[in-house]
């Protein structure tokens, strides 16, 4: 057995709506390791990415439970089964805590946490019947830190870390590894607001001993590791991929 070989594995990756996003990079890494990959986004751009990269694709607003269940079922049917689930989708919103609109709070908790549990539940049912599976959630360095002016994001990512551990406790003895990756500041469309804000950009830069922001490809290797047999004895881990942010 080649420890990092994903040949024959069937994977779903969410949040693959940006040509230069983290989700696309991870999906490409899985494909290059041998997996058959299906991708999901709320953006119609997912179909262009899928055509270019050789993925199956589905479009859905994952906060709509009916849409989520339908796109998940359709893609699993096309894949034939599910071995790897990577919950990469999410949203952020910068605002002072005292005036965050509650509808934003509700949507962010639903998007970043509620939908992840729903997908884990659907994927977990398939994997439990097989006695094998890998679930990888996309946490954040803000799973460890409260950040500044991102209360809903920090709360959702802190909750996601605890959800990962809770599912790991229930499922590792039944063949499913549940782990999370906690990226630092990665150069994607989602982080352009930080890069364009001198104060926030300088704060992050000062906390990153590596001396640069991350690139989507910097997360690829960790995702392949957690999706492969190389991580069979790891579950409930929240792995920072942050250029040293948390250690500074």
Question: Helix 115-130 to helix 65-79 angle, to the nearest 10 degrees?
Answer: 30
Q: Which residues pair with 225 in a beta bridge?
A: none
Exposure b/e, 93-115, CB count within 10 A at least 16 = b? beeeeeebeeeebebbbbbbbbb
Q: Which of 153, 204, 225, 245 is catalytic?
A: 153
CA–chain centroid gap for 134, Å, is 13
Distances in Å between the Cα of 140 and the Cα atoms of 5, 50, 69 are 26, 26, 26
Q: What whole-number distance in Å separates Cα of residue 29 and Cα of residue 216?
A: 11
Strands 133-138 and 176-183, how do they pair?
Answer: parallel
Question: Is residue 203 annotated as part of the catalytic site, yes or no?
Answer: no
Catalytic residue numbers read 153
């Amino acid at each position: 057995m080649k420890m990092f070989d994903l040949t024959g594995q069937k994977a779903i990756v969410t949040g693959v709506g940006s040509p230069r996003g983290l989700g696309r990079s991870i999906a490409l890494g899985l494909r290059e390791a041998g997996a058959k990959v299906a991708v999901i986004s709320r953006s119609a751009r997912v179909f262009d990415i899928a055509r270019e990269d050789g993925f199956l694709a589905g479009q859905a607003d994952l906060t709509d439970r009916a849409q989520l269940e339908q796109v998940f079922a359709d893609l699993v049917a096309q894949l034939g089964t599910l071995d790897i689930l990577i919950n990469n989708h999410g949203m952020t919103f910068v605002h002072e805590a005292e005036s965050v609109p509650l509808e934003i709070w509700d949507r962010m908790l639903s998007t970043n946490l509620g939908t992840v549990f729903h997908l884990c539940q659907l994927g977990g049912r398939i994997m439990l019947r097989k006695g094998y599976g890998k679930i990888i959630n996309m946490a954040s360095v803000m799973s460890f830190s409260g950040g500044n002016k991102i209360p809903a994001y920090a709360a959702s990512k802190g909750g996601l870390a605890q959800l990962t551990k809770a599912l790991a406790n229930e499922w590792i003895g039944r063949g499913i590894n549940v782990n999370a990756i906690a990226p630092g500041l990665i150069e994607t469309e989602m982080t352009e607001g930080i890069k364009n804000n001198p104060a926030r950009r300088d704060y992050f830069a000062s906390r990153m001993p590596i001396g640069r922001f991350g690139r989507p490809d910097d997360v690829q290797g960790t995702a392949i590791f957690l999706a492969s047999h190389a991580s069979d004895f790891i579950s409930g881990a929240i792995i920072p991929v942050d250029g040293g942010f948390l250690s500074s």
